[in-house]
Structure 1
């Protein structure tokens, strides 16, 4: 019963955590619109694979991170640099003209790797899942053995993929507006990176 509760809470926490437009889900949406549904799904799978690893690290590091605030600061500093680089990248990408290409097997494979890369650059899920795992275990109900850790990470992975798949299905409906969405999404992503830069700076210094 406790393991089922752990799985469901983590699943819905991951699902809700990825719902607001952000780096990973907007990248998946862009991939879907520019290269097709299959590429978008593979990008989501790649991102979810990394979330599995991040959630595993988070639950293992939960106590250590809370006991060492400097670790949180270093994660935020890394995130700040990444967000600055990505803001520049998306602003430049918005200036380029793109057309939808036929999706080959090679492109699909690249989409999976792209999903993994973007999710790897997004450091926020680690402290998020640290907080989730700590909140779930606030009364020391769970013994974090291999089964519990695996179920926590699996639930985080599946919750993330569920939301990303919803993005894929939703954005397929605007397939006819590929060029317009591609340009808009790059500007949106650049603006989002600026917001994340400001949030990270605030968390670092206040």
Structure 2
């Protein structure tokens, strides 16, 4: 049970931090709340979170398949290394080029809010490699064992972390709007540092695998 609590916390935190910087999804959640209603914003957020959980499950399946083939474990670790290096650079560059006023807003009808949320979340091609990389690290740390409760906890935490941020944007965007630029920049720097730490841990694990 303890490892499930740890798994939920670290995955929730990773999902939360990845969703905090203003982007297509959270800004559309805020826009929907302002122009339609807060309930409509919540429906949109649920659509996004549902798709995130589906993508997290796909990420688990990919990681599980590769991990169950011993000959590709090193390849899996190297893939994770590449993923973390990419995201470290990506978030750092995003922090340097924050332009919140230029974020694209998609027009939505109340009836289709849920499915629009799912569609926009599906367009984010970085979600699956992000959660695949996290899955590799959590498995190496012993936090996930590819059992049904572990997988369910990982997926639920990914969806919950995402929904929590979208919920905050839906209800408190007006209060956060004046601080959006600094808020976004600092969040991206934190994510960049996190990715560097995960990259270093992965390098260390690869070194011990090669010399163990």
Which interval holds the TM-score relative to the shorter structure?
0.5 to 0.7
Aligned residues: 146
Question: Residues 38 and 108 of structure 1 are in contact (CA less than 8 Å); yes or no, is this contact kept in structure 2?
Answer: no
TM-score of the superposed pair, with normalisation by structure 1: 0.62
Cα deviation for residue 30 of structure 1 reads: 1.8
- Structure 2: unaligned runs, 5 residues or longer: 68-74, 84-101, 177-212
Which one of the candidate residues 144, 153, 161 is aligned to 1:159?
A: 161
Give, in whole Å, the separation in 1 of the partners of 2:19 and 2:115.
Answer: 19
Q: Which residue of 2 aligns with 1:112?
A: 114
Superposed CA offset, 1:111-170 (max 9, x none): 111111100111111111112111222244532111111110001001100000000012
Name the CA shift for 1:3/1:30 in 2 (closer, same or farther; >3 Å). same
Which ranges of structure 1 fall in alignment gaps of 5 or more residues?
74-90, 175-206
Shift of 1:109: 3.2
Match of 1:62 in 2: 63
Gap change, CA 1:58 and 1:153, over 3 Å in 2? same
1:127-146 matches, cutoff 5 A: 127-140=129-142, 142-146=144-148
Partner Cα distance (1:23, 1:165) in 2 = 15
* Off by >3 Å, runs of 4+ in structure 1: 63-69, 139-142
TM alignment of 1:72-83, pairs within 5 A: none
1:159-199 alpha-carbon deviations (Å, 9 max, x no partner)? 1000000000123569xxxxxxxxxxxxxxxxxxxxxxxxx
Matched, 1:23 2:40: no
Q: CA RMSD in A?
A: 3.1
TM-score, structure 2 normalization: 0.60
